[in-house]
């Protein structure tokens, strides 16, 4: 089948790219702080001071200046812009193929969100690995392309897919849970709100509430994923054991606040922008 810019799936891809650009630029500092918290080596020893968001923020600004908070934004753009585009175009295509009309039920929403995230997650994983390494501050890559070449040369192409299982265990449930709560909550809004000028604000609020729950449920997998991608010699089971030994159970929730803020705001903004742009194209999202 021939595709053109007029094809609905292409329009969904373009809408996703725009929403990904906006959300990445705004919320990159939260992602960097989350990564630094998760890769901090401080343990739970008696008398040790707990490293928090404010401490990391001050440290980054002091040592790397204010723009240091946007370190890793290039790989974030390289991952998120096409990644969100792939996500929404896959979601739209799956929904049109299996549902045609009407809103998805709870289980259907989980499958649609999870399926779309699987496609985007696997496709963009190499850039996700590079993004995580940029943000952690342990690597001195000069560019995304240079980092990809360096990893392939020194560690082998397989390193670009480190943390695949942890990434899918984090992203697929997050997307499924998020889409389920978002679609069901949005459908329960009164018709006068859904058809009024305040609909985008209402949808954004629903997205925030859905994102908070989805973020907290999937936080442990995010911590494991970050550890494996920063130290690719670790297997997932070894990373889980190391995190528990170093930080006990609370270690699996390190960086929960900045991640919840970022993922929630990004998801809410992405869906709001996507739906508004699709409506502008005359398409039902």
User: Would residue 2 count as lying in a domain?
Assistant: no
| Cα atoms found within 13 Å of the Cα of residue 27, Cβ hemisphere only | 22
User: Would residue 171 count as lying in a domain?
Assistant: yes
User: Would residue 1 count as lying in a domain?
Assistant: no
Sequential pLDDT tens for the chain (285 residues): 444 556 888 889 999 899 888 888 888 888 888 888 877 755 545 445 566 788 888 999 999 999 888 887 888 888 888 999 999 999 999 998 888 666 788 899 999 999 999 999 999 999 888 888 887 777 878 788 888 899 999 999 988 998 888 888 888 999 999 999 999 998 888 888 888 888 888 889 999 999 998 998 888 988 888 888 888 788 888 989 999 998 888 889 888 888 888 888 888 888 988 988 888 888 877
pLDDT for res 50: 60
Domain that holds residue 180: 8-280
CATH code, domain with 116: 1.50.40.10
pLDDT for res 104: 85
User: Would residue 137 count as lying in a domain?
Assistant: yes
pLDDT for res 187: 87
User: Would residue 186 count as lying in a domain?
Assistant: yes
User: Would residue 3 count as lying in a domain?
Assistant: no
Torsion angle, alpha carbons of 89, 95, 100, 102, to 10: -120
Give, as one character, the DSSP assignment of residue 107: H
pLDDT for res 46: 46
Q: Which residue has the tokens 């980054």?
A: 60
Q: Is 111 exposed, middle or buried (0-12, 13-18, 19+ CB in 10 A)?
A: middle
Split into its structural domains, the chain has a count of 1
Q: How far is CA 248 from CA 57, 223, 241, 244, in A?
A: 24, 13, 9, 4
User: Would residue 108 count as lying in a domain?
Assistant: yes
pLDDT for res 119: 94
Residue length of the chain: 285
Tell me the three state secondary structure of residue 6: coil
**Contacts made by residues 91-96, CB under 8 angstroms, sequence distance 24+:** 91/12, 91/115, 91/116, 91/179, 92/8, 92/9, 92/12, 92/278, 92/285, 93/9, 93/12, 96/8
User: Would residue 285 count as lying in a domain?
Assistant: no
């Amino acid at each position: 089948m021939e595709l053109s810019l007029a094809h609905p799936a292409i329009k969904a891809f373009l809408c996703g790219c725009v929403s990904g650009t906006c959300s990445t630029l705004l919320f990159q500092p939260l992602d960097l702080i989350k990564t630094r918290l998760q890769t901090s080596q401080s343990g739970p020893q008696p008398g040790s001071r707990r490293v928090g968001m404010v401490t990391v923020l001050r440290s980054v600004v002091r040592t790397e200046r204010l723009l240091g908070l946007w370190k890793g934004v290039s790989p974030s753009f390289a991952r998120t812009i096409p990644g969100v585009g792939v996500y929404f175009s896959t979601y739209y295509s799956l929904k049109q193929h299996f549902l045609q009309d009407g809103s998805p039920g709870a289980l259907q929403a989980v499958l649609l969100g999870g399926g779309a995230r699987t496609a985007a997650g696997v496709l963009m994983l190499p850039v996700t690995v590079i993004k995580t390494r940029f943000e952690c501050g342990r690597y001195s890559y000069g560019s995304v392309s240079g980092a990809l070449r360096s990893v392939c040369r020194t560690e082998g192409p397989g390193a670009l897919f480190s943390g695949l299982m942890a990434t899918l265990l984090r992203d697929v449930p997050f997307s499924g849970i998020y889409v389920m709560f978002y679609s069901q909550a949005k459908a329960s809004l009164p018709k006068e709100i859904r058809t009024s000028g305040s609909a985008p604000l209402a949808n954004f609020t629903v997205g925030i509430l859905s994102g908070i729950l989805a973020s907290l449920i999937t936080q442990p997998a995010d911590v494991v994923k970050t550890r494996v991608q920063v130290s690719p010699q670790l297997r997932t089971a070894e990373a889980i054991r190391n995190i528990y030994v170093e930080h006990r159970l609370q270690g699996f929730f390190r960086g929960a606040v900045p991640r919840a803020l970022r993922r929630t705001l990004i998801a809410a903004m992405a869906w709001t922008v996507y739906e508004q742009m699709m409506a502008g194209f005359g398409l039902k999202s």
